[in-house]
Structure 1
Amino acid sequence: MKPVKAADNSSLRDKLLVGQFGTTSPQLSALSDPLEPVQMVRTLDELRPYEHNPRVTKNEKYEEIKESIRNRGLDSPPPITRRPGEQHFIVSNGGNTRLTALNELWQETRDEKYFKIHCLFKPWPKRGDIVALTGHMAENDIRGNLLWIERCLGVAKAKEFYKEEDGGKDISQSELSRRLATDGYPIDRSHISRMEQTLLHLFPFIPNVLWNGMGVDGVRTLLTFRSNAEKAWNKLVQEKGVPANGIDFDQVFSNTLCVYDEEPGGYVFNHFKDDLLGAMTDALRENGVSYELILFEIEVAQDPRQARPLATVAPTSTPETQPPSIVPGQVQETHIPPSTQHPLPPAGNTGGRAGSATVGKSPTPPQEQVLKQVPVLTAVNNEPGSTVVSIPVQAGGLAPVSDIWAIYPQQDSIAAIRNLADLLALEIATWAGVIDFMRSTQDQGLGFTLRRPETFTSAASETTWQLLASLSGNSPAEEIQPVAPDDLAELLIQHLPDDLVIKAFRMIRLARRAKELTGEK
């Protein structure tokens, strides 16, 4: 028998270092997620909030939710999911507020009951982001009101996901409404339209106002006014021409609106409305467009029935009862300023109750709206504490009057007052049948002058002429004769239609302010 040769130490070492046999089986770096919903325990460092959650601002109920978790724990396990191939789980269908509260409680107490959480895992669905987003929106609407702008941005994000599903093809508002409803977040098409307008016309210019809590009612009011103002602008530009500087309505609107974003809490719709009217007037003034004409066109855009031509109230057979109406074609166009080319609405219902503050079918605006529009104030009898703020009324027509006393900042110049008074006098003179004897004079008096007719058709017509000539401030003094008190009283109480009585008192207010501005006594 041969002796066994002793093994070489170096040879043994080399054999031991030879690699293992290879394998062709796939190696798994980690276990795959369950394919069915299952309960599991996860730690806070494994969880992340859903990045497309529409809620950006802090939930107003956050402190209540946090204290509830501190005292009672979680009422139900938060639902979680995970995108394929990602490391962290995300909260689905709400729960981001609870996750934030748990993180704060863990930092404050270091109690592991806040760190290790029982969760309900659900597999990532095929249409994962759409399902997660609509789930978060629905959950937020139930648990705490989303801001209007948060809902707008959430719906816009959902639309992006739907477009990705369709290969980039755009979808209509009706189709978007249908798909959202199918995915558990029903919303009306008109609401979607308003959301898109918010993001297009408002969000770029007043983001802070919207984040400060402007709701759907405030947005609806602002967007409706914008639409009517744009219609008025387009009509006036078509008739009078574009501004010399080429500015368009979008620029006027955005320049006016963005000022309010500097102090979001100070936004008041009536203040913005007056500022926009003033900015539109400034832009179109050189084209012969007045503040009152812009306001009138906006009201027409809001209610087209206001533009319907109706005949002026005709006189009775008795000359002393009411002055005659104008014969068609009798009015010379040279007497009518550029801003009065619209058909005259009815003079009013003379059979109505005397002294009625509201004339015609136009609704009377709430008094508090007028008070917020910062009118120019004048003390009665120069006594402190006896200031008249406003006398809200409603009289339509060529020169609408919504307040007898208030003079808005854009109207508070001698040129603007003369233009307003001229329009008011035009309506009254038309009713009285003396329009042919009236002429605009924007450089003196109250903006118009009258010459005396050789004859009048009635005593009421003559009294009306005397009233207008006296207010004009520049009609020939020798032609103005004293008016008998009884004649003036009969005109105002019996003959003059209700809305023209309102406009006569408005003219008196304008005449008083004009004297203040020109320094006359």
Structure 2
Amino acid sequence: MSKKHMSQNEILQKLQQPGPTLKSQPVKSLGAPLREMGIEVTLNDVRPYDRNPRSQRNPKYDEIKASIRAAGLKHAPVLTQRPGDDLYMISDGGNTRLEILTELYAETGDEKYYRFHAIFRPWISEAAAMAGHLSENENRGDLSWIEKCLGLQELKQELEQEADQSFSQRELVSIAQGLGYTINQSHISKMLYTLEHLWPTLPLTLQSGMGKPQVEKAIRYREATLQIWVYCEVKPKEDFAGAWHTTMSQFDREDQDVLPWSIVEDRLLGMLEAEMQVHLAPLDHALSTILEYRQRRYSLEEHRDQIWGPLDVELGRAEGIPRTTYPPLPEAKPDSTDSTKTATLQQVVEPQSAQEVGDSTLSFQASEKDQGGDSENDELAALRRKLAELQEENASLVEQAVVPPTSMISEVSVPRSSEQDSNDNDAEGDAVLSLSDEERQQRIADQTLSPVHESEGHRNLREMLARQEGGEPINFEANAVRSIPLMSDGPEGGPVYPVTDIWTVEPQYLAPRDLRVQINQFAQGLARWAGFCKPGDELYPVQPSNTGVGYQLEPLSDEQSQSPRAQKMWQLLASLAGEPLHPMYPDASLIGELLGTNSDEDALPDELLVRFYRMVRLVRVLREEIKRDEEDAS
């Protein structure tokens, strides 16, 4: 029997009957895909990554916006979705593009900015998302150094929190590579060093965009300075961080991403000089040598003597340095007669006043009469001569005592003939004796442009080193009343070698390297007065050199060369260094203008004129020392 077919009305009735009742909530949107795939989303479906390592506006923002406006979104952003989140999230970079799409849609209302294609990747972990953003920005190269450092630190903390253990730098490299973020251990070491030692001290400079080369230079300076601090063993190593922070924080500014390194080096040396209580020259030598040898990858241990030799002398660690600055006493003999004479001589070697000298003389004469004997006449005559010399020296010191002490740094006289010294001393002695106390004080004041502070300990050490090298230290207070150049600490500021004597050079600073260091600093001071090599300049035409006179010249920048004074000074420094003069700058007549003999417009001030003469003297001494070394070698 055939089945009866439904009529059209019956079919219509069936279709119009309601279906089964829905017992669950309706789905408003589809869930995230289970595998990587392309999807279409709207701006309402996506939000930026909330732990983006970028804290500053993308420097290419305007360029990217112009490209999207002209040609649309060329590169689909990569999205992911945290578990439990109902929105997609930017993964592996793309926050800037999402921000630009939102901005363009608000400006134009164009649908092409609202709806776009993207690539979805399933969620792995928070650390994987952070590594993806760091890797993407590293490839594009548009993150600042400090943003990379902070991002790496956050990734490290997230990984250690997930694993509940700490990781070494080597382990961190391996884990980051597994997450797609390729970075070497040296890079990680510098990033973590930046956060520990530079970020607290130079936050504004780092945020302004201080890059990796500048950071590496700061690290080199800090490590070299710390090495000198530890070597001196004057203060605990733990105190270095505070001294470093106090010195370097002065250079932190918002409007810079490059530090004025010449001034930074001066300040660091000044800090070491103040904290370690040692002279500037051996510190400067140690710092520059460490920086140079590390750049050349020399072993510092193998070149220990080249680095620390001058500083060892300053610290009294070098072999042969006496423990006291007083002259050694004659060796004692077993018989009582010599013991009596030695004790008597001890009293006159270190007299305190003219009265003590007189008393010592009477005692010496009395002992001489009591002893008698023709066999000792020669020895007694020698002792009389020694006593007379000590009396004359003490009388000179007593005369100097009425002069108010002026802190200074002086240098030892160049050897002269005995006949010249005798004639000069006689003439000067007569002139000095004729001066009243008021005239002495006025002469010292007239010859002191700016007092130079010198601690008593440093002064004793300087005098000891001068005698150790076979010379005699100069006393500014004593010699100023005779004839000595102006004392000046320099108008340009900073730890520049003061000039208290144009002609003389202390024997411990006759090494060519030490002479070149001083000459370069004088050249820098002259250049700063002329308008170049100033703090903040990108170009430093006067560069230190380990050959020649101690510096070499680079051309002036276009801005610097606009100054006639700068052109004249450049020509003058070039002529001193034996370098070719610039054909477009003033000719040799500039010397008269700078020295103030035919013009006052660009004449050097007195304190710089003294430095110029001192610089010329040092160049001449340097040439003599180099010639002597060449003759000894041949």
Alpha-carbon shift at residue 235 of structure 1 (Å): 2.5
CA distance 1:441–1:81, change in 2 (3 Å): same
Alpha-carbon shift at residue 135 of structure 1 (Å): 1.7
Equivalent position SS for 1:248: helix
- Per the alignment, residue 191 of structure 1 pairs with 187
CA distance 1:27–1:270, change in 2 (3 Å): same
- Per the alignment, residue 414 of structure 1 pairs with 452
Alpha-carbon shift at residue 55 of structure 1 (Å): 2.1
Q: Deviations over 1:38-91 (max 9, x none)?
A: 332222122111122222222222222111111111113221111111122111
- Per the alignment, residue 118 of structure 1 pairs with 117
Worse overlay, 104-113 or 247-256: 247-256
1:41-56 aligned within 5 A: 41-56=40-55
Higher relative contact order (CA 8 A, sep 6+): 1
1:295 and 2:284 equivalent? yes
Q: Deviations over 1:442-467 (max 9, x none)?
A: 87659xxxxxxxxxxxxxxxxxxxxx
- Per the alignment, residue 256 of structure 1 pairs with 247
- Per the alignment, residue 83 of structure 1 pairs with 82
Gaps of 5+ in 1: 1-19, 313-327, 337-411, 447-467, 474-490
Q: Deviations over 1:210-244 (max 9, x none)?
A: 121111111011011111111211222x2x456xx
CA distance in 1, matches of 2:31, 2:505: 91
CA distance 1:184–1:196, change in 2 (3 Å): same
CA distance in 2, matches of 1:508, 1:203: 34
CA distance 1:86–1:22, change in 2 (3 Å): closer
TM-score after normalising by structure 2: 0.47
- Per the alignment, residue 219 of structure 1 pairs with 215
Equivalent position SS for 1:136: helix
CA distance in 1, matches of 2:118, 2:158: 27
1:7-18 aligned within 5 A: none
- Per the alignment, residue 275 of structure 2 pairs with 283
Amino acid at match of 2:123: W
Worse overlay, 227-236 or 190-199: 227-236
CA distance in 1, matches of 2:520, 2:457: 13
Q: CA RMSD, aligned part only?
A: 4.5
Amino acid at match of 1:294: L
1:267 and 2:259 equivalent? yes
CA distance 1:200–1:331, change in 2 (3 Å): closer
CA distance in 1, matches of 2:77, 2:514: 69
Number of equivalenced pairs: 348
Equivalent position SS for 1:113: helix
Amino acid at match of 1:259: Q
Amino acid at match of 2:283: I
CA distance 1:232–1:413, change in 2 (3 Å): farther
1:394-405 aligned within 5 A: none
- Per the alignment, residue 334 of structure 1 pairs with 324
CA distance 1:28–1:231, change in 2 (3 Å): same
1:352-371 aligned within 5 A: none
Alpha-carbon shift at residue 27 of structure 1 (Å): 8.8
Q: Deviations over 1:382-410 (max 9, x none)?
A: xxxxxxxxxxxxxxxxxxxxxxxxxxxxx
- Per the alignment, residue 161 of structure 2 pairs with 164
CA distance in 2, matches of 1:505, 1:102: 60
Alpha-carbon shift at residue 289 of structure 1 (Å): 2.3
Q: Deviations over 1:415-463 (max 9, x none)?
A: 35999999888777656xx25xx358587659xxxxxxxxxxxxxxxxx
CA distance 1:136–1:100, change in 2 (3 Å): same
Q: Deviations over 1:458-486 (max 9, x none)?
A: xxxxxxxxxx998499xxxxxxxxxxxxx
1:147 and 2:138 equivalent? no
Equivalent position SS for 1:118: strand
CA distance in 2, matches of 1:26, 1:184: 40
Contact (CA 8 Å) 1:415, 1:442: kept in 2 or not? no
CA distance in 1, matches of 2:520, 2:74: 67
CA distance in 2, matches of 1:170, 1:91: 28
CA distance in 1, matches of 2:521, 2:143: 50
TM-score after normalising by structure 1: 0.56
1:174 and 2:163 equivalent? no
